[in-house]
Amino acid sequence: MTIRPLCIALFAALAVPSFVAAQAQHAHVHGQAFVDVAVDAGVVEINLRATAQDLVGFERAAATPEEEAQVLAARKAVLDHARLWQFNAAARCVAEGPVLEVPGAGEAHDHDHDHEGHDDHVAHSDWTVRYRFRCAAPEALRAIDSGMFAVFPSLQSATVQVLDATGAREETLTASANRLTLAQ
């Protein structure tokens, strides 16, 4: 796993919705996403957090119409759950509304915090997206394939916290290993 050592900043102090509180201590690392996957009684909840740098291409507020279009395109892309998360068909999982939340997404908020040695950034911004699916045949649920590396090519890896029938564990996904195998 390659982690580019640029621009690491802790986001502990951000005012984020409570459901991402558990992720708030994660470092802000360009190229790396943090994903929580919880499977319980046929319901799959996925929280995705990634930097605006990886999703949008920049982290400051959009300054031009072109940049505003980039933000809108990124917002559309993160909401495209069918491209980002694919379940094995037998499980018959469908997105459940309100499926997705993009708390504070879109505009890179300007945060005031330490940035050690990366003058190219005036601010860092993370996007967090929550997805929820219900599976009609949960006993058949075996795997989730993620399209996030195809949709957001600057993402290099994702640290995934999985909570399923066998308990909690951490896995790493990459473009060449983008399948999350689930336990029954």
Question: How far, in Å, CA of 59 to CA of 126, rounded?
Answer: 8
Cβ-based nearer residue to Zn ion, 7 or 180: 7
Shortest spacing between CB 33 and Zn ion, in angstroms: 13
Give the CA angle between residues 85, 140, 146 to the nearest 5°.
15
Binding flag, residue 129, Zn ion (CB under 5 A): no
Residue 6 or 90 having the CB closest to Zn ion = 6
Residue 105 engages Zn ion in binding (rule: CB under 5 A): no
Q: Does 7 bind Zn ion (CB under 5 A)?
A: yes
Q: Count CB-CB contacts under 10 A for residue 124.
A: 25
Among 111, 124, 130, 132, binds Zn ion (CB under 5 A): 124
Q: Which is nearer to Zn ion, 88 or 156 (CB)?
A: 156
Region for 91 from its dihedrals, namely left if φ exceeds 0, alpha if ψ lies in -120 to 50, beta otherwise: alpha
The yes or no reply on residue 29 touching Zn ion (CB under 5 A) is: no
Residue with tokens 């491209």: 83
Binding map of Zn ion across residues 154-183, x = CB under 5 A, - = no contact: ------------------------------
| Residue number, 23 or 53, with CB nearest to Zn ion | 53
Q: Of the ranges 3-11, 65-73, 136-144, 171-179, which one interacts with Zn ion (CB under 5 A)?
A: 3-11
- The binding track of 48-67 with respect to Zn ion, each residue x by CB under 5 A or -, is -----x--------------
# of chain residues touching Zn ion (CB under 5 A): 3
Residues 6+ apart with CB under 8 A from 10: 25, 27, 28, 113
The angle formed by the CA atoms of residues 83, 86 and 90, to the nearest 5 degrees, is: 145
Distance (Å) of CA 20 to CA 12, 48, 127, 157 = 11, 9, 11, 19
Burial class (CB in 10 A: 0-12, 13-18, 19+), 173: buried
> Which range of residues in 37-45, 88-96, 122-130, 162-170 is near Zn ion by CB under 5 A?
122-130
Residues that bind Zn ion (CB under 5 A): 7, 53, 124
